[in-house]
Copies of this chain bind each other. A is one copy, B any other.
Amino acid sequence: MTKFADSLQEISISKRSLLSIGLDPDPDKMPISDVFEFCKLIIDHTEVFTAAYKPNMGFFEAFGLEGLKSLEKVIDHIKSNYPDVLIIGDAKRGDIAPTSSKYAYAMFEIWDFDAVTVNAFSGFDSIEPFLKYTDRGVFVWCKSSNPDAYQLQDLVIKGTADRKIFQVIAEYCVSWNNEGNLGLVVGATYPEELKIVRDIVGELPILVPGIGSQSGDLEASVRAGLGRKNHGLLVSSSRGIIYASSDLNNFGPAAANASSILREDINNILEDVGRSFI
């Protein structure tokens, strides 16, 4: 097992959780205006239930430099107080190698994320600079959760027994995993495709966003996405947890409640399929 897959499995077992909580600070939805204070309160109320936080770079960048300063404080707060929980920089970065090298440096050396999401549109040399950080996780965006995902990702490739682009990406991911630190992102809105991807990638970790607000089917996703040996799965919810309440005095406990329920829902499914944490 690799260091990143190790970390993921260890934190999942110790927290009895496959949950990832997406941090998407949105000025139109936050009950308080300070980005760091909002995230801090969410984190302090939910940390016991989650294996990972997934700050979404776009939401922080939309606050300008102040948002990125807040992200710096958020990461520092998590690392200082909850050193075992994983922090996944949701950035979907990807460019030609010299630029990807800079993005990898930014994500892993500046922000110090434990893992990132990347976009593999430009092939192996565009994500290799991320994979070279062998102790970090690199989740390749394979099948996205949005309605128009099919436009490119479901195109059928000629001469491949009718495999679609997302399947080809999954196959590439297996061959690109030279450092043992590669995972995939597959949206919860497409559990059938998640099953197909799991069958292709074997034990590679899969990050499944889109549970909750995007109406992803939790039970189908967990059943389809579980690895055979390790759990190898992170189920990520953002809005359903962090905006569970818009009440200034209650949004923290509401987030705690929502994350506790989601963790338990996942764990009940694990029990049903005989994969409970020992």
Contact = CB atoms under 8 A, between A and B. Distances in A.
Interface stretch (A102-110, A197-205, A258-266): A102-110
A151 B165 contact: no
Contact of A152 (B102, B150, B169): B169
Interface residues of A, number: 58
Contact of A144 (B92, B122, B144): B122
Contacts of A172: 151-152
Given A58-B93, A62-B105, A69-B65, A125 B147 contact: yes
A186 to B, nearest CB: 13
Nearest to A59: B102
Interface stretch (A30-38, A42-50, A155-163, A249-257): A155-163
- Which residue, of A24, A68, A155, A156, has the highest number of chain B Cβ atoms within 10 A? A155
Contacts of A24: 98-99
Nearest to A96: B146
Contacts of A90: 99
Nearest to A105: B62
Interface SS of chain A: helix, strand, loop or mixed? helix
A144 B150 CA distance: 21
Given A65-B65, A72-B65, A94-B119, A124 B105 contact: no
Interface of A: 24, 26, 56, 58-59, 61-62, 64-65, 68-69, 72, 90, 92-103, 105-106, 110, 119-126, 141, 144-153, 155-159, 162, 165, 168-169, 172, 214
A141 B121 contact: yes
Nearest to A148: B123
A119 B147 CA distance: 16
19 contacts: A58-B100, A58-B106, A62-B102, A62-B103, A64-B106, A65-B65, A92-B119, A119-B121, A121-B144, A122-B144, A122-B152, A123-B149, A123-B151, A123-B153, A152-B168, A155-B158, A155-B168, A156-B159, A157-B158
A110 B65 CA distance: 9
Contacts of A97: 146
Nearest to A103: B58
Contacts of A64: 106, 110
Contact of A99 (B56, B102, B121, B158): B56
A261 to B, nearest CB: 23
Contact of A121 (B61, B72, B125, B153): B153
A274 B102 CA distance: 41
A212 to B, nearest CB: 13
